[in-house]
Chains A and B, each alone.
Chain A
Amino acid sequence: MRMRSVRTLASALALGASLLASQALAKSDITIAMQLEPPHLDPTSAAAQAIDSVVYTNIFEGLTRFMGDGSVAPGLAESWEISEDGTVYTFKLRDGVTFHDGTVMDAEDVKFSLDRARAEDSANAQKALFAGIETVEVVDPLTVRLTLAEPNGNLLFNLAWGDAVIVAPESIENIKTNPVGTGAFTFGNWVQGDSITLNRNPEYWGDQPVLETATFKFISDPTAAFAAMMAEDVDVFDNFPAPENLPQFEADPRFQVLVGSTEGETILSTNNQQPPFDDIRVRQALAHAIDRQAIIDGAMFGYGTPIGTHFAPHNPAYVDLTGNSAHDPEKAKALLAEAGLPEGFQTTLHLPPPSYARRGGEIIAAQLAEVGITAEIINVEWAQWLESVFKGKDFGLTIVSHTEPMDIGIYARPDYYFQYDSSDFQAVMAMLNSTTDPAERARLMGEAQRLISNDYVNGYLFQLAKLGVARAGVRGLWENAPTAAIDLSAISWDE
């Protein structure tokens, strides 16, 4: 009797196991969690990164695209030719590409998309990407010609942004709630506040993805994120909000942790026009008062790469300038005394919601106190930060991660919120923009990095890490985040 029940149990278990195995083999759906929900699904009219995370390359594609390693590859444009003087780009489009509603993607759609993005009343959040484009002409259904006012070495890079994807005039009206693109996945369903589902596009022009459906779930609370992963309610957490929990996932064989890089330079932004920060000695004192590694360890639990300038360390053109602002409180005090502030001074430190800012801010305030600077911490929401710090320029210091790729150009804008005004730097950026030779561009980028580092424009802290957590069997996830994207095309299950 007992023997039989044991045998029954064993066979039941075996059956269960084989069922599980066959299910695992056939698994073609995935649930991916992210912290923020997109407000809508039009990447060409909002800055919210959550939109790109869902739609970039999955639903919408551009003429060029970012790959997982940050390189720019052909997208809907198969190839292109650049005129001798660098002002005319002729793009050859892929043949046989259709939108999800069945209409053909051709040169007219490209013209429509680019003209819409750069139009006077355009709602594009990155309109500057298209600034140099003078005309967009349809040569034939599969050829588009872009004429620029002056050479722009960044054009192919700019066109890879989610803000430059190709949309169709037929479906533009409802793009925010029913996006129709050319990508490998079609929009399925959106339960607002909960999830968005995408389905495989059987008509896709490129390789068919393995996944049949993908569900994006929105979990903003870090504790809830931990619980959802642990309970295996979700398969992937795109950018896990609680670095302190990662060792637990690393130790658990059910999970894998993917630590990669992002384009986010996390900086102690300094109001360069507000006394005493208009004195370079004070800014240099700030830089030497800061202990980067202590901030990375304390606020990010060790995840993050120290930076000494506003540039991503994984970029080949990066120059390591951390030595320029090594932690040296004595030197900081000496510099303050030299600037006529031997007793230190008081300032404000505005902290937006992300933990890198709130936690990092506490540590920085303590480090500044050591050299006599009293930084009053003011916690703000993003909307407030945009209003008072970014637009109103009413701040002394603030901590923010600048997540746009290759955004060193912001230092050439004297009205940008930290208000750095250097004609040398502006000249270097102007040269960079009109240079297409890669070696010369790298040299100029190095020059630009040195200039802002030597001027101690801001306190350069660390490059934000991308911290992904996934079930052990998930393959094909992007480790790095060259742009906000969760590219579903290469994702598969391996069990």
Chain B
Amino acid sequence: MLRYALKRLLSLILSLAVASVVIFTVIEVAPGDPASFMLGVNAQEDTLAALRAELGLDASKVQRYFNWVGGMLAGDFGTSYTYRTPVSQMIADRLWVSLPLALFALTLSTLIAFPAGIYAAARRGKPGDLTVMGATQLGIAVPNFWFAMMLVLIFAINLRWFNAGGFAGWDKGFWTGLHSLTLPAIALALPQAAILARVMRSSLLDILGEDFMRTARAKGLSRRQALWRHGVRNALIPVLTIIGLQFSFLLAGSIIIEQVFYLPGLGRLVFQAISARDLIVVESVVMLLVFAVITVNFLVDLAYAAVDPRLRSRT
């Protein structure tokens, strides 16, 4: 087990090193100079040179790469070119919006998908199933920003139940904060719920055909009892895998929703930083997300190995 864990750890470190090189290269080769973006069209050459020196952009690319990686290893993500505040602090601030939003959306999508998936599986082929499946097909096909716009139109502009966007801040109270995240969370949750409901349904249908389900019925359990006690529980395994994938998608992929609702989240930070060529911010945020995903995979690998001894001897 230890050998296996060490091997996985080595591969984790290698992946991160490769990722850092790729991220740095891809972002640095994009045309555009942060200094001339900040100083605009009337900047004089000496002014640009002074700013480049101040930002450390006059060093060679290799030098800057090692400065960046070295800084990160020491826990220093650098200082934003444009905002001039530490990148780690900016990320922390934005995570306070993005993380709760992702969790909120995930909770909503689970709350919608589970009953819908179970209902559809229990009524396979009947009108109820067809309705749910039709709705989920629509949910997958329609992009979440369209949902977002519809929600704003109905609940913010016409009914005035919510603000059209913006984040009130957690310092105004938990419920106020949650209230301002409600519409974006719903918009993010609906397409995810549609996917999850379909996975739930098909997974449950697979289980329903298993021998142990027949045994459960033979023991005298009703259809409903067998479904809940043995079916749903076993169907959850693939569903949980999807939920895990969805969480990282929600965390990193809510850029458009954050634009539509002008939320100060991680996605919007990356968006702003890319257009301003705030390279250090883009690099650090992307690296952090890669780190999160790779680490989660590493932990999952370990967990699999703990559960399934066969994996330890392989690779």
Write the residues of chain A forming the contact surface with B, with a CB cutoff of 8 angstroms: 37, 39-40, 46-48, 120-128, 176-177, 191-195, 217-221, 223-224, 227-228, 230-231, 233, 353, 381-384, 386-388, 390-391, 404
Contact = CB atoms under 8 A, between A and B. Distances in A.
Interface residues of B, number: 51
28 contacts: A40-B84, A47-B43, A125-B38, A125-B43, A127-B43, A192-B85, A193-B94, A193-B263, A193-B268, A194-B169, A217-B166, A217-B262, A218-B262, A219-B165, A220-B262, A223-B149, A224-B164, A224-B259, A227-B164, A227-B165, A228-B166, A231-B157, A381-B275, A382-B37, A383-B32, A383-B33, A383-B275, A387-B32
A221 B163 contact: no
A191 B50 contact: no
Contacts of A123: 39, 47, 50-51, 54
B156 A231 contact: yes
Interface of B: 30-34, 36-44, 46-47, 50-51, 54, 82-85, 90, 93-94, 149, 152-153, 156-157, 160, 163-167, 169, 259-265, 268-269, 272, 275-277
B164 A386 contact: no
Contact of B36 (A220, A228, A387): A387
A486 B213 CA distance: 70
A48 B38 contact: yes
B38 A223 contact: no
Interface centre among A218, A231, A382 (most CB of B within 10 A): A231
A34 B34 CA distance: 22
Contacts of B260: 221, 223-224
B275 A40 contact: no
Nearest to B169: A191
A390 B275 CA distance: 17
B262 A46 contact: no
A419 B265 CA distance: 42
Contact of A192 (B44, B51, B93, B149): B93
Given A123-B51, A383-B276, A221 B164 contact: no
Contacts of B160: 231
Nearest to A383: B32
Given A47-B42, A233-B166, A176 B37 contact: no
Contacts of B40: 46-48, 125
Contact of A221 (B157, B262, B265): B262
Nearest to A407: B42
Given A123-B47, A224-B260, A388-B31, A192 B83 contact: yes
Contacts of A217: 166, 262
A224 B148 CA distance: 10
A176 B54 CA distance: 14
B42 A404 contact: yes
A85 to B, nearest CB: 27
Nearest 4 A/B pairs, CB to CB: A47-B40, A383-B32, A193-B264, A39-B82
Given A48-B38, A192-B90, 5 more contacts: A39-B38, A123-B50, A191-B169, A227-B165, A353-B275
Nearest to B152: A227
A125 B153 CA distance: 41
Given A122-B47, A227-B165, A233-B164, A192 B33 contact: no
A391 B269 CA distance: 27
Contacts, number: 144
DSSP majority for the A interface? loop
A216 B277 CA distance: 23
A47 B41 CA distance: 8
A231 B152 CA distance: 9
Contacts of B167: 194
B142 to A, nearest CB: 16
A120 B46 contact: yes
A384 B93 contact: no
Nearest to B162: A231
B272 A37 contact: yes
Contacts of A387: 31-33, 36
A220 B272 CA distance: 10
Given A217-B262, A383-B277, A386-B32, A224 B165 contact: yes
A220 to B, nearest CB: 7
B39 A125 contact: yes
Contacts of A219: 165, 262
A98 B93 CA distance: 34
Contacts of A233: 156, 163-166
A228 B275 contact: no
Contacts of B31: 383-384, 387-388
Nearest to B261: A224
B147 to A, nearest CB: 13
A488 B277 CA distance: 31
B47 A220 contact: no
B152 A125 contact: no
A229 B94 CA distance: 25
Contacts of B84: 40, 176-177
Nearest to A381: B275
A390 B47 contact: no
Contacts of A191: 169, 264
B42 A383 contact: no
A221 B261 CA distance: 9
Contacts of B264: 191-194
A136 B93 CA distance: 43
A252 to B, nearest CB: 11
A228 B94 CA distance: 21
B47 A124 contact: yes
Contacts of B149: 223, 227
B101 to A, nearest CB: 13
A40 B262 contact: no
B277 A125 contact: no
B33 A228 contact: no
A127 B47 contact: yes
A182 B41 CA distance: 28
A283 B157 CA distance: 49
B270 to A, nearest CB: 11
A313 to B, nearest CB: 22
A14 B42 CA distance: 58
Contact of A125 (B42, B263, B276): B42
Nearest to B93: A192
Given A122-B50, A176-B84, A194-B166, A386 B157 contact: no
A217 B166 CA distance: 8
Contact of A227 (B33, B85, B156): B156
B185 to A, nearest CB: 16
A40 B82 contact: yes
B32 A230 contact: no
Contacts of B39: 46-47, 123, 125
Given A194-B166, A227-B156, A230-B164, A127 B44 contact: yes
A220 B83 contact: no
Residue in B31, B165, B262, B265 with the greatest tally of chain A CB atoms within 10 Å: B262
A124 B50 CA distance: 10
